[in-house]
Amino acid sequence: MVSGHVESLFSAAYDGELSPDARAAFDRHLGECSTCAAAFAELTTAVDALREQPTARMPHPVRLPEGSPGLEPRFAHRPMRLPRGRAIVAGLTAAGMVAVAGGVTAAVVLTRGAGPTRTYMAAPAVAPGSNAGAGAAIHAPLASPQSASLLPELAPLLGGLTDCSPKALPISKAEALEIPVGFSNHATEDNGVSTGVVATQASSFVPGGTVDIYARLIDDSSHAVSLPCTVLLGPQSSSSSPGDDFTMAVPTPVAGLTVDGQPLLQVTVPATAVAGQTYDILVAPPDAVVILTIQIN
């Protein structure tokens, strides 16, 4: 039984999705209603015209990344466009990481296939357990229990982060992707599973300076937004021979520091940082998708 006009059935009718009875009623209506008949004919002509367009051919061969598929899934991305201040994102491989057990020295090397190597090293030791509080430095808690939720290769170095879990935020994906005004140093990456956004108000900071961080992680499936765990890691060294020390600091929410009512993170640049060094802000495992570099002045 069809009453009134039937535009709402046009698409299903075009796809042959109506039941035999519904289709018969639909066709009867078109026979009696010239308005619907003309409109359905118009829709059919338009969709047919789209469908008849030929398949286009990819104009050049696809270049696959070096290495084997899937070995660098978490950090590895080829940024499509890198605005100033955005890091070349490197993949983390087990083979590329060295942790020196038995002391407070450690180094981590991030590599992407045969590409650039990223090494963090050379920061004076801080007493173990000093990671309490916002922005406190952490030295790799070597051989600490690993959390299954952490990136396996980083877990031994991130024991201080095991209490950090992403905090769900009641905002939309579009709102999360909107970089706050003034956060000119920013990076956004989507690995097809999740999208990470990290931004700071400047690209250079002084030792002991405070860094406000906008960080958001979006699940590509559910579009759920969370405040991710992040780490400040550095200094980055141009040396490719690991073995020295590096510093990690954990940015944390601070009362009253918000954007659109949602929390920002804050971290203090280590006082031991030296002008000319660079540090990286990483969205923490297991969904690390962004690295943002800051320069020390």
Partner 1 sequence: MDDEALLDRSRRGDRDAFTPLVHRYQDELYTMALRLTGNPADAADVVQETFTRAFRSLPKLRGATVRAWLFRVAVNCSHDIHRQRSRRPADPLEDTEGRVLDLPDPGLGPEATAIQRERADAIRVALLALPHDFRVAVVLRDVNQLSYEEMAEALSVPVGTVKSRISRARGLLAAALRQSPAIFPRAEEAW
Task: Tell me, residue by residue from 206 to 225, as one string, x for binding to partner 1 by CB under 8 A and - for no binding.
Answer: --------------xxxx--
- Amino acid identity, position 221: S
Task: Provide, rounded to whole angstroms, the least separation between the CB of residue 216 and partner 1.
Answer: 15
Is residue 10 at the binding interface for partner 1, with CB under 8 A as the rule? yes
Spell out the residues 6+ positions from residue 52 whose beta carbon is closer than 8 angstroms to its own: none
Using the rule CB under 8 A, is 174 a contact of partner 1? no
Measured from the CB atom, is 71 or 143 closer to partner 1?
A: 71
CA distances from 181 to 202, 214, 226, 227 (A): 12, 11, 20, 18
C-beta of 42 vs 274, nearer to partner 1:
42
Q: Binders of partner 1 among 64-123, rule CB under 8 A?
A: 64-65, 67-73, 76-78, 80-81, 91
Helix H or strand E encompassing 151: none
DSSP string, 155-196: GGG-GGGTT---EEESS-HHHHHSPPTT--EEEEEE-SSEEE
Structure-token pair, residue 258: 């918000």
| Residues sharing a CB contact under 8 Å with residue 62, sequence separation 6 or more, in sequence order | none
Q: In terms of CB distance, is 114 or 132 closer to partner 1? A: 114
Give the number of residues in contact with partner 1, rule: CB under 8 A: 49
d(CA 25, CA 2) in angstroms, rounded, equals 6
- Binding pattern to partner 1, positions 30-49, x when CB under 8 A? ---------x--xx-xxx-x
32, 34, 62, 127: which one binds partner 1 (CB under 8 A)? 62
Binding site for partner 1 (CB under 8 A): 7-8, 10-12, 14-15, 39, 42-43, 45-47, 49-51, 53-60, 62-65, 67-73, 76-78, 80-81, 91, 190-193, 220-223
